[in-house]
Structure formats: C-alpha cells, structure tokens
Structure 1
Amino acid sequence: MHHLFDNRKEPAAAGRKIMTIRPKQMMLFFLIALVFLISGCAGLTSLTIQKNFRDIADKTLPVVVQVNTVDIFSQEVPDLDGWDFFFPDPDGEGESEEREFRTQGLGSGVIVRRNGDTYYVVTNNHVVGEADEVSITLHNGRIYPADLIGKDPRRDLALVSFSAPGVDIQEARLGDSDSLRIGDLVVALGNPFGYSGTVTQGIISGLHRSGPTDISDFIQTDASINQGNSGGALVDLKGRVIGINTWITTPTGGSIGLGFAIPINSARNVIDQLIETGQVAYGWLGVSITDTSHDILESMKEDDVSGAVVTNIYVDSPAEKAGIRPGDIILNVGRRRIKNADNLIQAVSDLPVSRNSDFVILRDGESLEIPVAIEERADDDTIRARSDKFWPGLRLYPITDALREEMEKIPERGVYVLAVDKGTPGESAGLKSGDVITRLGKTEIDSLDAFYSSLKLAEDQALALSVHRGGEDLELMMGPMKQN
C-alpha cells in the first residue's frame, strides 16, 4: 500500500518509476493555486469597481452643468487714439470716453428640479455673485440663458433656472446626507478650470466641519476639487447627490485633498424656499453661544456633554420668552442632537417660523424640555441695533492654570472677561476686556456656574459687581435684564 505523503522510499515496480509527493511540495502547489485564485478574484473585483464608477459617471454627468457668468461694468478711459496715444495731454484734460467691460467666470451646478419646461439648478452663491448675465452649459454642450431665482448667502447657495421647451433633460437624484459615515466612497463632478464633465473619486474624510460661511456644516472629502468645481455634485456609489462642492483648503491654489461640500439635506430646504418664494427665511432663537469645551464644562460643574452653551440672550427674543437663560446648555432641538455651536445655528436656521419647537437644555445638572416659538431672523443691521437688549453682553472664560501662566496679577478666583459687546448692559456698566469678575451681587464668583446662577437669580434688579482690573479692585453696577 502506497502512502502519498510517506517520506520513506519503496522499491519501484519493474520498468516504471513511482513518484511520491511530499508535504512541502503539496503545500507549495496549494499556495500557487491560491495565488492564481486570488489574482483572478482581484481582477474581477477591479473590473466590478471600474464598472461601478463608469455607471456613476453615466448617471450623474448629465445632471451636472457648467454655470457661466458675465459681470458688466463701465469705466471712463482716455481717448488715446492716433496723435494723443504718442503725445498725451500733460494736464490730463484730453478727451475720454465711457467703455463697457465684461468679465467672465464659471463654476458648476446641479439640476435638482423640473417644472414643465423650466429646470432649476443649484450652485454656490459665490459662483453667481452679482453677475449681470448667467447661462447654463449642459453636458451635451447645449447652452441656455438662465435667470437668478434667489440666494442664500449664509449657506453660500444660489438657485438659477433655465427654460428648455420640448427637451427632456435629466434631473439629479438626491440622497440622504444624514446617513453618511466617515470612510464612505464618494465621487465629485464638476468643471475645474473649465474642463467640463470632470470626475474624481475619494472618500468622506470628515463630517460636520466648520467653514467660512455663517451657517457652517460641511462634508470633508479627499476627492480632488479645484476652481470651477464650486456648485458641482458630490455623489455616493448609487449616483445620488449627497453634497454640493463648495470650497477647498490649500496653500497652493490647487487640490491637496481637503475639499468641502454642503450636505444635500441642508440644501433641500433652501431649494424649496427659493422655488416657492425666491428668498430664504431663517429661524431665530436670539442667543449667542459657544462650544462645550473641557474648561467651560468643568467651570460650570457639568459632566462631559456635547452641546452649545448659551452665553448671552436678547431680551424679548424667542429664547428669553421661553425661559432659556445664559449658562444653559442646549442638548437637543427636536430629535436633532446638538454637538456644538455650529450644529445649533444650522438646526435653528432650518426650523419653521412661528411654530413651537422642543429644546432640551441642561441646567444645574438637570435636563429640561422647553417649547420655543421660533421667529424669523431679521437682517444683521436690525439685530445689531438691538444691542441694548443683548444680556449681559459679556464673553467669559474660567480662570485656568494656563490663563494664570499667561496673565500677570490675575486673581486665583473669578471669571475672566474675554470681550464686552458694544452698546450692551455689560459695556454700560463699565466692564472691559481683561477684567476679572470676583463677585456678583452677594455671591463670590469662583466659576462660571456661580456667575450664571447668580445672574439668573437677579434678572429684575441692578447688580453690584466686584472687578479686578490691572492690579486694582473696582466696584461697578450693571442694570437689570429688563430695563424700564
């Protein structure tokens, strides 16, 4: 009996040789076979991935357009034709004429809606700017004049429309940006530097990034984005638009893998409002806020939570009427979890006006649910004109070891005044940046918790303050929250 894996040699039969296969040889054969199998699977996987990206390009390129802009301006220029060109009037009193100049720009956009023969394209506000003329170039090269429907400068979004009678043009499928996770594969489409229909691929590198806009909540991607990509689409592997490419961070002017897009869920509400009314109404709470840093939470004697800390409120604002006060930490707006100040700004801006929305706040270690009737946000000038109602008008920070090392002659206890807003009760009281508040009313201040607790208890009366300033101790008086 022969054993295939026996290392012993046995006599060969007359006239023929018997080959035995040793264990090491069998293992080698197995490994070679496995390599070929894996290589074949890898080849199939690569082809599958390639087909997926081709399908994405085929589905989405027709919905991504080039947005062309023209700015027209006139300027007086000297008439230096002929003789005057070589011998201009030294007194500068020669003839001049007004000439028209046209500057061109371009960006990208996404076809997001159709109403009959009218198509709506979302792009960035900085793409259209104050352009006198706007046109749309489709992926097939057709050009249509476009009209500006409206803008949302706080989110850097704009909506334009064009008419294409008798033409069936594809619209984008919109995805759900709230379901995104870091590491998801994405594709960016646009017209960088005028190279129309450019497709690049990457992953989602981060979520909820801050940026240069007032309402700041961006998707970060390493997909290549350059000038001209602004307003283009960021799509998932099903070809659904999940973001509008907006800006990049770069020291060179070109992509270094730090691109940012507006989440499509943030853009949806803007698109609806602009189509319906031509303008965007923002919700207004009437507070100033900051993030929940470790130093602030420790000084407020709260656990390590994420949220937005209310530092000031406008008197007679929705927040003040509902009972929200400086020192409260906002944790939730409806079902939306608030992680930082940018989250709260985004959430409030999206809230329906004149309807109650439930806010969950943390106060003195206890969670409270408060209904708030959100109002429509006025323009910036109107809000600034209400500075006398901005209570108390102070931006404060706890006294930490790091602050003690940086500042000279600073008390061991108190709260540090980072800034005082102009026209507010805090400025009227004489408080200045760099002051340390050591007493409020009858309470010795050793933390932010002590300051805000005392502030809540003394809303209807003037407050005496003990302040340390530049080695001196001062006594000041701040009026009540509601002035008669």
Structure 2
Amino acid sequence: MPGPFELTISRVRAFAVAGALALASTSLAAPAFARGPENIADVAEKVIDAVVNISTSQNVAARGGERGGVMPQLPPDSPFQDFFDEFFKNRRGGEGGPRGGNSGPRRVNSLGSGFIIDTAGMVVTNNHVIADADEINIILNDGTKIPAEIVGRDKKTDLALLKFKPPEKPLVAVKFGNSDSVRIGEWVVAIGNPFSLGGTVTAGIVSARNRDIGGQYDAYIQTDAAINRGNSGGPLFNLNGDVIGVNTAIFSPTGGSVGIGFAVPSNIVTGVIDQLRQFGEARRGWLGVRIQEVTDEIAESLSIKPARGALIAGIDDKGPAKPAGIESGDVIVKFDGKDIKTMKDLPRVVADTPIGKEVDVVVIRKGKEQTRKVTLGRLEDDEKAKEASLKVPAPAEEKTVSQKALGLDLAALSPALRSRYKVKDSVKGVVITSIEGSRDAADKRLSAGDVIMEVAQEAVTNVADIKKRVDQLKKDGKKSALLTVSNPDGEVRFVTLSVQ
C-alpha cells in the first residue's frame, strides 16, 4: 500500500493525465474556424501572382560626417590600412573618393509592394514607396523584373499609380471590393514584400475602421495581420479575393509588426486611382471654409442634440460657400445627402465630390435646419478645408484698465489696445487683456490679444454687452457661453466657457 506521499504523487499524475486527455479531446473537437478560415490558402493562391515587389533606386549625395563616409586617419604603414581600404571600398560601391574625404554621390536602393489592377500593366502602390526615385522596377512573383514609370501620385492619400510594359506571359489582375461593407472582426489577408523577402502572406482580422492617425483624409482600416517594412503599397484582401485596402502604415515601437497596421480603404483608393489614371493627378472638390469640432459644450450652446457636424469658423471670401449663403457659426450636418457626424467627415466628403457639382448642404443656424445649394470649386495644392487656428499670440506685458467677466480681464477694443495687440481693423469686439486665474480659458487656449466678437451668436462691443448676455444665459439655464473669438490676424474660432 503506498504511503501518503506516494498517493499524492499518484493523484497528481492522474489529474495531469486526465487534464491532458481533456485538452486533447478539446483540441480535436475544435472547429476549423478556430484556427482561421480554411480558404485563406485558396485566396492566396488566387491573387498572389497579382502582387508585385517594387524596387527603386536614387542617387544620394554623401556627407563627409555620415557613417561609413570618412576614412579614419591611420599612422603610416598601419597594419589596419588594407582592412579599412577594403571596408570603405565596399561601403561606397567600389573605388572612388579621396581617403578621409567625401565619397561623393551614392546609389540607394529600397523595396516596397504593389498590386496589378489591369493586365495592361497598371500597378497601385504607396507614394512614399516611389517618392524621389530615379529608377523604378516591377518584380513579378516569378522573378521577372520590368522597368516602370509613374502615371500619377497623390501625397494627401499616399497613393501612386505605375505603368509597365506587360511581358508575353499573361498577367493576373485583382479587383477592388467595397470597403464600406467591411465589418470589424472580419478575416483579411495581407500580401507583400516584408524586409525584401518576396511574396509573403499573412492573415488577421479587421480590428477597427475609420482610424484617424493624423492626416486630413484619414479613414484607415486597422488590422492585426502582420505588416512590416516592405509591405507598404501591398493589398489587403477580403476572403473573396477582393482588395479592400492598401497597406500603408504600422504603429510600432520597434519597427516590426505588433499587430497594429493601417490600410487606405478601397473606396478611397478607387476614386484617387481613377483620377490619377485620367488626369495624372488627384482633383478634389473645394468648399472654402475653416472648420472646427462640435464639442458637447458647443452643441449644448447651439441647442444641437446629439453633438454632430462641422462648425464653420470662417469663410473664404473667394470660396464657393460664401455666395451660397453659408455663414460663420453654421454647423454643417449633411453634405450632398451624406451625414456629417464629425468635423473630420466634411473634408473627406467634399474632396470626393466632383468639381462643379451643385450640392445641397444642410446647416443648423440658431437651432434651425436650413438647406443651401453650393457649386463646388477645385481644391488647389495650397488650399484645404482648414481647421480653425489655435495659434496663441504672445501676451502683452503692459497693464490696462479692464473689467472682469467669465473669469477674464476684458476691455473695449480701443485704438491703443488695437495697436498694442496688433489687431486688424476688420476685427470688432471686446479684447482679452489677461486670463490669469482662469483655468477654463487657459485650457481653451485663449490668451491676451484675442477678441471676443460674439456671445451666443450675438455681437458684443463692450464688457457690459458680455455681462448682459451671460446673465441671460444663466436665466435660461445654460451651463456655458458660446464665444466667437478672433485672434489678432482675424482668424475666427468658437470657444465655450462656463457661466457658473
């Protein structure tokens, strides 16, 4: 009969065996989709020949101080002389350059990815893959290398269209799918050229949609499919083998994949690529407004429930919005039949609308909806649907007689104050002379020299006007006051401050 210790061991072994059997049976019973869809291999086999590697090269002027550019000074007859001669010869791509001096221009190569959308030899990739390249080559999946030229490119969406002469062997092209129908959690397949390894297939799911990572037209698909350096410009497929995105960026503290990659949605790509193909450039609609976000406080002040839309902070005198009757303070909630849920929606929708098209623009003005008809202009490279400026002018050091309201030191905009703060003649209202002690104002980036033009969308010319409007807002049960504020240069934005 076993002792207590031996019995304990036996029980542990028994439980271990039982646990192993349970895990084994669970593993055997696990459905196939727990390991990923079985048709990933079918998708990869179907489309991989349409995915290409893109090789670029350019001449870069070497700098004397750059790594590998300067021969160390060695004593005469040093035993290391031959070693360093050979080392720097290899680094410079051959002979050339005086010892210890600049090596002169050198050839730099880089690799990215792309995909064929037309068997006539049309390839989509990222603009940053081919930017500044002197020479571009397409490398097909079978290793065939063919020179390519740029048809057009668009920096704003980081897309480019290339063309190459097709070989005798028939090409495989892929088609775009509808990225608007992509669901979070849906399986996707990425194919590209990571770290110059050649055609590589990875799979994952759609982690999020409409990700904004800092660009004006950002609406990225986020995926956890492994995307690494060299994958840029490659396609992101759904399980039908349709391209739903162009892999463009990753978030990574190390430079490698950590499961956070971003792809430009196909519905953005198709519009840009069609224009690059037709015009060699992207042509976007232009409304001619400066906009800012409708915060919860601003929405409450404007009686907009729920908070939505894009608040017009300024109108371009030469833009299409002005003759259409759109005004500063309007909130655009619908454009050409499309809902504008956030400020970021408006630039995307306007840019995608054909130039010269007359569209209905629904605005909320003083709590009521109005519809305006606007004929869109063309966005030039130096123009964009601007966000309201948040530049903070330097505070003035001089003191002045002022009154308190909304936690601010305020004064009527006299000629002396206009001169002190360099306020343009076109700016009318009450000037802020100090925000000391007002954390709310500091958080909203108000500063001395800013001018309050309106309170609750009514013009003010002195401090008494502001106090009167604030008192009325308190009686109406409002928690905050909506201020129309201009900086000294005349750039207008909207700010809410507590009336408590």
Q: TM-score, normalised by structure 1?
A: 0.70
1:62 alignment partner in structure 2? 49
Distance 1:423 1:64 in 2: 57
1:441 corresponds to 2:460: yes
Structure 1: which 5+ residue stretches go unaligned?
A: 1-34, 88-92, 398-408, 417-421, 456-461, 463-484
Mean CA deviation greater in 426-435 or 125-134: 426-435
1:205 alignment partner in structure 2? 207
Distance 1:437 1:124 in 2: 45
The alpha-carbon deviation at position 214 of structure 1 amounts to: 3.0
Aligned 1:404-443 pairs, distance under 5 A: 411-412=405-406, 433-434=446-447, 435=450, 437=452, 440-441=459-460
Distance 2:362 2:24 in 1: 59
The question of whether the paired residues in 1 share the 8 Å contact of 2:336 and 2:360 is answered with yes
The alpha-carbon deviation at position 145 of structure 1 amounts to: 0.6
The question of whether the paired residues in 1 share the 8 Å contact of 2:356 and 2:375 is answered with yes
Structure 2: which 5+ residue stretches go unaligned?
A: 1-22, 78-97, 393-402, 411-421, 433-445, 474-479, 491-500
Distance 2:31 2:186 in 1: 22
The alpha-carbon deviation at position 212 of structure 1 amounts to: 3.6
Assess, with a 3 A threshold, how the Cα gap between structure 1 residues 289 and 77 changes in structure 2: closer, same or farther.
closer
Mean CA deviation greater in 95-104 or 362-371: 95-104
Specify the SS of the correspondent of 2:39. helix
The question of whether the paired residues in 2 share the 8 Å contact of 1:71 and 1:132 is answered with yes
Aligned 1:463-478 pairs, distance under 5 A: none
Query: What letter matches 1:220 in structure 2?
Result: Q
2:140 alignment partner in structure 1? 138
Assess, with a 3 A threshold, how the Cα gap between structure 1 residues 426 and 150 changes in structure 2: closer, same or farther.
farther
The question of whether the paired residues in 2 share the 8 Å contact of 1:311 and 1:394 is answered with no
The question of whether the paired residues in 2 share the 8 Å contact of 1:76 and 1:96 is answered with no
2:106 alignment partner in structure 1? 101
The question of whether the paired residues in 1 share the 8 Å contact of 2:152 and 2:160 is answered with yes
The question of whether the paired residues in 2 share the 8 Å contact of 1:217 and 1:342 is answered with no
1:51 corresponds to 2:45: no
Assess, with a 3 A threshold, how the Cα gap between structure 1 residues 142 and 86 changes in structure 2: closer, same or farther.
farther
Assess, with a 3 A threshold, how the Cα gap between structure 1 residues 138 and 281 changes in structure 2: closer, same or farther.
same
Distance 2:144 2:192 in 1: 16
The question of whether the paired residues in 1 share the 8 Å contact of 2:295 and 2:307 is answered with no
Larger radius of gyration: 1
Specify the SS of the correspondent of 1:230. coil
CA RMSD for the aligned pairs?
A: 4.1
Q: TM-score, normalised by structure 2?
A: 0.68
Aligned 1:71-470 pairs, distance under 5 A: 71-74=58-61, 99-114=104-119, 118-380=120-382, 383=383, 411-412=405-406, 433-434=446-447, 435=450, 437=452, 440-441=459-460, 444=466, 446=470, 451=483
Identity %: 35
The alpha-carbon deviation at position 260 of structure 1 amounts to: 0.7
Distance 1:251 1:100 in 2: 32
The alpha-carbon deviation at position 230 of structure 1 amounts to: 0.8
Distance 2:143 2:313 in 1: 53
The alpha-carbon deviation at position 264 of structure 1 amounts to: 0.6
The alpha-carbon deviation at position 379 of structure 1 amounts to: 2.2
Q: Residues 176-212 of structure 1, C-alpha deviation per residue, up to 9 Å, x if partnerless?
A: 0111121211111111111221111111111111124
Assess, with a 3 A threshold, how the Cα gap between structure 1 residues 363 and 40 changes in structure 2: closer, same or farther.
same
Query: What letter matches 2:211 in structure 1?
Result: R
The question of whether the paired residues in 1 share the 8 Å contact of 2:203 and 2:225 is answered with yes
Assess, with a 3 A threshold, how the Cα gap between structure 1 residues 324 and 423 changes in structure 2: closer, same or farther.
farther
Specify the SS of the correspondent of 2:322. helix
Distance 2:255 2:135 in 1: 27
The alpha-carbon deviation at position 341 of structure 1 amounts to: 2.1
Mean CA deviation greater in 255-264 or 435-444: 435-444
Query: What letter matches 1:360 in structure 2?
Result: V
Assess, with a 3 A threshold, how the Cα gap between structure 1 residues 240 and 426 changes in structure 2: closer, same or farther.
farther
Specify the SS of the correspondent of 1:341. coil
The alpha-carbon deviation at position 293 of structure 1 amounts to: 2.1
The question of whether the paired residues in 1 share the 8 Å contact of 2:223 and 2:259 is answered with yes
The question of whether the paired residues in 1 share the 8 Å contact of 2:453 and 2:460 is answered with no
The question of whether the paired residues in 2 share the 8 Å contact of 1:123 and 1:244 is answered with yes
The question of whether the paired residues in 2 share the 8 Å contact of 1:189 and 1:198 is answered with yes
Assess, with a 3 A threshold, how the Cα gap between structure 1 residues 75 and 254 changes in structure 2: closer, same or farther.
closer
The question of whether the paired residues in 2 share the 8 Å contact of 1:290 and 1:340 is answered with no
Specify the SS of the correspondent of 2:207. strand
Assess, with a 3 A threshold, how the Cα gap between structure 1 residues 86 and 370 changes in structure 2: closer, same or farther.
farther
The alpha-carbon deviation at position 219 of structure 1 amounts to: 0.9
The question of whether the paired residues in 2 share the 8 Å contact of 1:311 and 1:395 is answered with no
How many residues of Structure 1 are paired with residues of Structure 2 in the alignment?
Answer: 389
The question of whether the paired residues in 2 share the 8 Å contact of 1:332 and 1:361 is answered with yes
The alpha-carbon deviation at position 39 of structure 1 amounts to: 7.2
Specify the SS of the correspondent of 1:268. helix
Assess, with a 3 A threshold, how the Cα gap between structure 1 residues 363 and 171 changes in structure 2: closer, same or farther.
same
The alpha-carbon deviation at position 431 of structure 1 amounts to: 6.3
Distance 1:172 1:342 in 2: 31
The alpha-carbon deviation at position 294 of structure 1 amounts to: 1.4
2:81 alignment partner in structure 1? none
Distance 1:324 1:46 in 2: 54
Assess, with a 3 A threshold, how the Cα gap between structure 1 residues 363 and 97 changes in structure 2: closer, same or farther.
closer
Assess, with a 3 A threshold, how the Cα gap between structure 1 residues 253 and 290 changes in structure 2: closer, same or farther.
same
Specify the SS of the correspondent of 1:174. coil
Distance 2:177 2:141 in 1: 21
Distance 1:155 1:357 in 2: 24
The alpha-carbon deviation at position 410 of structure 1 amounts to: 7.7
Assess, with a 3 A threshold, how the Cα gap between structure 1 residues 40 and 376 changes in structure 2: closer, same or farther.
same
The alpha-carbon deviation at position 267 of structure 1 amounts to: 0.8
Distance 2:452 2:130 in 1: 48
